[in-house]
Structure 1
Amino acid sequence: MDIDLLRTFCQLAEDKNFRVASQHLYITQSALTKKIQRLEENLNVALFDRGRHGAELTPMGKVLLPEAKRVLKGFESFQRLASFVAEGTSGHLNIGFGISSFHEAPNYIAKFKQEFPNVHVTLNDYPSHKLVEELRLGQLQLGFDRLPVEAPLKAIPLFSDRLAIAIHEEEKINLDNLWASLSHYNYLGLSQSKNPTLNKHIATYLWEAKQRPVVVEEAHDLITALALVSARLGYTIIPASVARISQPQIRFIPLTGEHAEWSVGLLWNSDITDPVREAFIRKVES
């Protein structure tokens, strides 16, 4: 049904006069009459009794008027919401993040919410390879992850992270001869299947540094790796940013070299149009 016919019905019911209602609707009386007739034909009921004194609702018209007002109000609310969504001021954002952006991602979201309180934000923790996959599939609108990215993904660089040795603070390490010191301890690796992107980065770094530590025990995730280090079962190589959620007895030794550091940025799928996402990107860039 044409929503404009319901708007005409409600206006005439309020004014009870064809001339006055037509003026409020900015149409001619003839056009108003035709709209009411069309609505009555669609509903197969008479809505008004026409007389010298104007238009009075019929019993059926009185029954239908409250529901017509409700539908009209709902449609107008929908129009306003659609307008806000088109402007990027209302809607929903599904955002992914990794350990490197554990602190930064919530800060960016908090600043965005101050300006766009009507946008609902869901924040999800993903390993890097899964986050990229979800962005490509359109399941995530935005993600905080390592750079660079490949098309159709685009990104804004935000900050950097680097690899670091994580080892119990009571272990004796000579920083001037780091790898020789570490050779006395077990190397705790990360699961290849669970952390393929980070593992590839670590492998590239170790190749550059000409180091080939043998994995003695494997952890499924970073938290488990930290627990093993805390238990003094050896050392691991993980992002330095993990120190923010680490146990205090774990020491982090930042690594240097061409492949030790990487940029972290805000990622999105450029093949997908999303006004709310664009508003978030503009806020981050400002």
Structure 2
Amino acid sequence: MDFGDLRTFCQLAEDGNYRVASEHLHITQSALTKKIQRLEAFCGVVLFERGRQGASLTAAGVALLPEAQRIVSNFESYRSLTQRVAKGTAGNLNIGFGISSYHLAPSYIAKFKKKYPEIHISLNDIPSQNQSEALLSGELQLSFSRLPAITPLKGMRLSRDYLVIATHNSQIIDKNKLWYSLDSIDYLQLNPERGMGLSQQINMLLGEHEKKLNVAQEADDIQTLLALVSANLGFTIVPASVKNIANEHVAFWEISGENSSWDVGLIWNEQLENLARDNFIQFVEQNRALRP
């Protein structure tokens, strides 16, 4: 069955006149008649009775019309959807983010959704090294993560994060003798397997300061580390961006050094095509406000 024949059936049923229906369909009356005859042959029934008043549905035509209209309507909706998907204004995006983009990622996504409500977005907190793997495999289309991006991944800088020391606010800390002030406090560390990029950054900074810290306890996530600090069980080194999720019992101290900071940005795999992703990248580029 030709879909055009089904659409012709619905149009003729609506207009009740061959001439009017042919004008609406932009075909000749002869072509319209052939389409109806072809559909009747396929269905094995007569759909219209032709008389002085035009074309009227037979009992079989009346019975078949609602389903034909449903199919035509669904097809038109599907065709419209395919056009929006082809333009990247509808579709699905899986996006990863890390602690350094804890507020950055949701902010951009919320603004983007107002412009592209038909693009469904899944956002998940994923370690940076896992984000890179997922981008390469196509499991993720975008990630908010630390830069630089590894080829063939491409990145766009959005902000900068830096390391800070987190202590309980009851601890007496001399910012001019920071490391000395921490000598009697237990060191709490993020499990390196859970945050490889962050662990490498911390190790480089500690090497720069010629410091070797003895780990008293490990945690699998930043939130647990902050909870331990809040309970006054030790100090930790974390990105400054975690200030957004810490409670009032945690104090933060900046650390100087060439390895104390890193760029954060939007990363994608330019070898994989995705028009919805491209619209997201363009949107972020047009709306980004670079942070020092």
Q: Which runs of 5+ in 2 are unaligned?
A: 287-292
Give the aligned residue type for 2:214: V
Does 1:175 pair with 2:175?
yes
Structure 2 counterpart of 1:192:
192
RMSD across aligned C-alpha pairs, in angstroms? 1.8
My pick for the range that moved more, 84-93 or 192-201, is 84-93
SS of the equivalent of 1:117 reads coil
Listed one character per residue, the Cα deviations across residues 167-195 of structure 1 (whole Å, up to 9, x for unaligned) are 11222222222222222222111112222
Q: CA deviation at 1:51?
A: 4.2
TM-score scaled to structure 2, two decimals? Answer: 0.91
Q: CA deviation at 1:133?
A: 2.5
Distance 1:2 1:145 in 2: 50
Structure 2 counterpart of 1:285:
285
After superposition, residues 110-121 of structure 1 pair within 5 angstroms as: 110-121=110-121
Q: CA deviation at 1:241?
A: 0.7
Structure 1 counterpart of 2:143:
143
Does 1:54 pair with 2:54?
yes
My pick for the range that moved more, 219-228 or 75-84, is 75-84
Structure 1 counterpart of 2:245:
245
Distance 2:45 2:132 in 1: 57
Q: CA deviation at 1:69?
A: 0.9
Distance 2:41 2:197 in 1: 65
Distance 2:206 2:109 in 1: 35
Structure 2 counterpart of 1:224:
224
Q: CA deviation at 1:164?
A: 0.9
Does 1:38 pair with 2:30?
no
Distance 2:231 2:43 in 1: 76
SS of the equivalent of 1:148 reads coil
User: Where has structure 1 moved over 3 Å in runs of 4 or more?
Assistant: 50-54
Q: CA deviation at 1:60?
A: 1.3
Give the aligned residue type for 1:218: E
Q: Relative to structure 1, is the Cα distance of residues 176 and 31 closer, same or farther in structure 2, using a 3 angstrom cutoff?
A: same
Listed one character per residue, the Cα deviations across residues 196-228 of structure 1 (whole Å, up to 9, x for unaligned) are 221122122222222111212111111111122
SS of the equivalent of 2:96 reads strand
Q: Relative to structure 1, is the Cα distance of residues 39 and 262 closer, same or farther in structure 2, using a 3 angstrom cutoff?
A: same
Percent of aligned positions that are identical:
52
Q: CA deviation at 1:46?
A: 2.2
TM-score scaled to structure 1, two decimals? Answer: 0.93
My pick for the range that moved more, 40-49 or 7-16, is 40-49
SS of the equivalent of 1:165 reads strand
Q: CA deviation at 1:116?
A: 2.2
Distance 1:219 1:63 in 2: 67
Q: CA deviation at 1:268?
A: 1.6
SS of the equivalent of 2:154 reads strand
My pick for the range that moved more, 209-218 or 11-20, is 11-20
Paired residues in the alignment total 286
Structure 2 counterpart of 1:159:
159
Q: CA deviation at 1:144?
A: 0.9
Structure 1 counterpart of 2:260:
260
Distance 1:262 1:156 in 2: 13
Q: Which runs of 5+ in 1 are unaligned?
A: none
Distance 2:260 2:221 in 1: 20
My pick for the range that moved more, 238-247 or 90-99, is 90-99
Q: CA deviation at 1:263?
A: 0.7
Structure 1 counterpart of 2:272:
272
Q: CA deviation at 1:9?
A: 0.8
My pick for the range that moved more, 12-21 or 161-170, is 12-21
Q: CA deviation at 1:52?
A: 5.3
My pick for the range that moved more, 165-174 or 117-126, is 117-126
Give the aligned residue type for 1:45: V
